[in-house]
A and B are shown apart, each in its own frame.
Chain A
Amino acid sequence: MMIKTTLQGGLIYLTMVFFIATLVASALRQRMLIKGFWAAGFLTAVSAVLWRGIHTGHPPMQNLFEFFLCMAAFLWPLSRLSSWKNGIDTTVKDAVLGLCILFPAGFVFGEEVRRLPPALQSSLFVPHVASYVAGYIMLARAALMALPMLKKGCPPAEMRSAEAASRQTVVVGFLLITIGLVLGSLWGKICWGHYWQWDPKEMWSLATWMVYAGYFHLRLKTGMRQPRLLAVFLWIGLLFVVLTLTWINLSHLFSGMHNYA
Chain B
Amino acid sequence: MKNYFHQATGLGMAVYICCILSAASIALAFVGAEKAGEIMATPPALGLSALLALLLILRGGFTLFNRRYYSAMMHLGCACVVVGWLTGQTAPYLDQGDKGPLKGSIAMVDGDVMNALWEGAYLTNYVGKLPFSVKLDKFIIDYYASSSVDQSAGRMPPIKEYRSRVTITEPGKEPYTKNIVVNQPAYVCGYHIYQMSWGQSQNWQGQPVTYTVLQFIRDPGLHLVYFGFGTLFVGILLFSVRLFKVRSPAPAPLPEVKS
Chain A residues with a Cβ under 8 A of chain B: 85-87, 114-115, 117-119, 121-122, 156-157, 160-161, 164-165, 167-168, 171-172, 174-175, 178-179, 182, 185-186, 189-201, 203-204, 206-208, 210-211, 213-214, 217-218, 220-221, 223-225, 248, 253-254, 256-257
Q: Could you tell me how many residues of chain B have their Cβ less than 8 Å away from some Cβ of chain A?
A: 60
Chain B residues with a Cβ under 8 A of chain A: 10-12, 14-15, 18-19, 21-23, 25-26, 28-30, 32-34, 36-37, 40, 85, 144, 157-162, 181-185, 192, 194, 196, 215, 217, 219, 222, 225-226, 229, 232-233, 236-237, 239-240, 243-244, 246, 248-249, 251, 254, 257-259
B36 with A203: CB separation less than 8 A: yes
Give 13 new A-B contacts, CB below 8 A, not counting A193-B185, A207-B23: A86-B248, A118-B181, A121-B183, A167-B243, A171-B239, A191-B182, A193-B192, A193-B196, A197-B37, A203-B36, A207-B26, A220-B11, A257-B33
Known: A156-B254, A164-B246, A182-B232. A218 touches B25 (CB 8 A): no
Look across to chain B and name the residue whose beta carbon is closest to the beta carbon of A205: B25
B28 with A198: CB separation less than 8 A: yes
Known: A164-B249, A203-B36, A224-B257. A254 touches B19 (CB 8 A): no
Expressed in whole angstroms, the Cα–Cα distance for A203 and B36 within the complex equals: 10
Interfacial chain A residues near B246, Cβ < 8 Å: 164
Interfacial chain B residues near A192, Cβ < 8 Å: 194
Interfacial chain A residues near B259, Cβ < 8 Å: 225
Contact of B240 among A165, A171, A185 (CB under 8 A): A171
Q: How far is the CB of A195 from chain B (nearest CB, A)?
A: 6
Look across to chain B and name the residue whose beta carbon is closest to the beta carbon of A163: B249
B25 with A161: CB separation less than 8 A: no
Known: A122-B183, A175-B240, A178-B233. A207 touches B248 (CB 8 A): no
Q: How far is the CB of B160 from chain A (nearest CB, A)?
A: 7
A195 with B161: CB separation less than 8 A: no
Known: A175-B240, A199-B33, A214-B15. A204 touches B229 (CB 8 A): no
Expressed in whole angstroms, the Cα–Cα distance for A148 and B21 within the complex equals: 29
A210 with B21: CB separation less than 8 A: yes
Interfacial chain B residues near A221, Cβ < 8 Å: 10-12, 15
B18 with A217: CB separation less than 8 A: yes
Expressed in whole angstroms, the Cα–Cα distance for A103 and B36 within the complex equals: 35
A223 with B248: CB separation less than 8 A: no
Interfacial chain B residues near A220, Cβ < 8 Å: 11
B182 with A156: CB separation less than 8 A: no
